[in-house]
Amino acid sequence: MLYYSMPALAAGFILDLMIGDPRWLYHPVCLIGNLIAFLEKILRKIFPKTDKGELAAGTVEVILVCLLSGGIPFLMLHILYGISVWAGFALETFWCYQLLATKSLKTESMKVYDRLKNGTLDEARYAVSMIVGRDTQSLTEEGVTKAAVETVAENASDGVIAPMLYMAIGGVWLMFLYKGINTMDSMLGYKNDKYLYFGRCAAKLDDVANYIPARLSGWLMVAASAFVKMDVKNAAKIYRRDRRNHASPNSAQTEAAMAGALEVQLAGNAYYFGKLYEKPTIGDGIRPVEVEDIRRSNRLLYATAILGAVIFLLIGSAVRYCFFL
């Protein structure tokens, strides 16, 4: 399994760039999401509705989701590789292709771009609401554009670099485990009355799982800005200065690199579920944000993804060669 994970990563990455998310097939992350929702419903009934009870229930949820999201793919691949190397390789490649989100991220963000260019502002607000968690009903054109650029930046780590890194370390089952952790955070990691205690363990584990990938993604994005003729020096400057301008220790890493490369200011105050959250800005407004920045952010996304894939494949293949030599 470990030996064939590198060529599976290469093949899966290329398939993702060429074809994108197979919409006709039920996505494994949806299965993980259903599992999380199912377990939450059961565990909330079992554990007492106290702060300690909800914290314990959330911890049990994290343990079960991690065991199942990583363990089931591991067992399936172990069995399949035992039957046929080619069958195991094919499944690992396909799963890698499904779990990477480079092209789908570009596709969804470019829907926002298209609505801003060829549609109405309300249509653009709706399109961006499909890819961000904030309230979008009253966003201006600049606000819609910033939201799209920010989600491209943040998901460059969560949806592309981090999954590739974990696959390079241990194979696609480890990528599944990461996606389980990441999905739990997106579903349970809210600091509201419902999830303050139940989702605390999920949120903390996601912070740990993304700590190295987020910082690696930030530096990769800074380096990749050179390949798409963006401002490398400013990207490095803003990354070093503003990478901590977020409540999460990881979320501002790639946003800072993106803001610096584009020479714009991102982030700032935003509404979530009707409540205003005051957030620091990221980057300097050397020029105003414009619709074309969505297209530029995707160019930087692709450059970052390709650079990351090349590095992971070279290092991962070298380590495996030494290990199996």
pLDDT digits (tens, 9 = 90+) for 9-64: 999 999 999 988 777 777 899 999 999 999 999 999 999 999 999 999 999 999 99
Q: How many domains are contained in the chain? A: 1
Parallel, antiparallel, or unpaired for β 275-277 and 281-282? unpaired
d(CA 211, CA 178): 12
Helix (H, G, I), strand (E, B) or coil at 281: strand
pLDDT surpasses 80 at 275: no
pLDDT of residue 27: 84
For the chain, percent helix, then strand, then coil, each to nearest 5?
A: 70, 5, 25
pLDDT of residue 258: 96
Mean pLDDT of the chain: 92
pLDDT of residue 137: 85
Helix spans in 100-194 (H): 102-118, 121-129, 141-156, 162-170, 172-188
Interval 128-136 mean pLDDT: 85
- The percentage of residues in the chain with a pLDDT greater than 90, rounded to a whole number, is 79
Q: What are the CA-CA distances from residue 118 to residues 110, 122, 277 (Å)? A: 12, 12, 31
pLDDT of residue 273: 66
More confident residue, 186 or 218: 218
pLDDT of residue 315: 92
Sign for the CA dihedral angle at 309, 234, 262, 208 comes to: positive
pLDDT of residue 278: 77
- The percentage of residues in the chain with a pLDDT greater than 70, rounded to a whole number, is 99
How would you label 49-83 residue by residue, b for 16+ Cβ within 10 Å and e otherwise? eeeebbbbbbbbbbebbbebbbeebbeebeebbee
Q: What are the CA-CA distances from residue 71 to residues 19, 155, 192, 227 (Å)? A: 28, 25, 31, 39
d(CA 262, CA 260): 5
Tell the residue number behind the tokens 């074309």, with chain if given. 292
pLDDT of residue 325: 59
Predicted TM-score (pTM) of the model is 0.92
Domain span at residue 289 reads 5-324
Summarised one tens digit per residue, pLDDT across range 147-182 is 999 999 999 999 999 999 999 999 999 999 999 999
Parallel, antiparallel, or unpaired for β 270-272 and 266-267? unpaired
pLDDT band at 145 (very low <50, low <70, confident <90, very high): very high
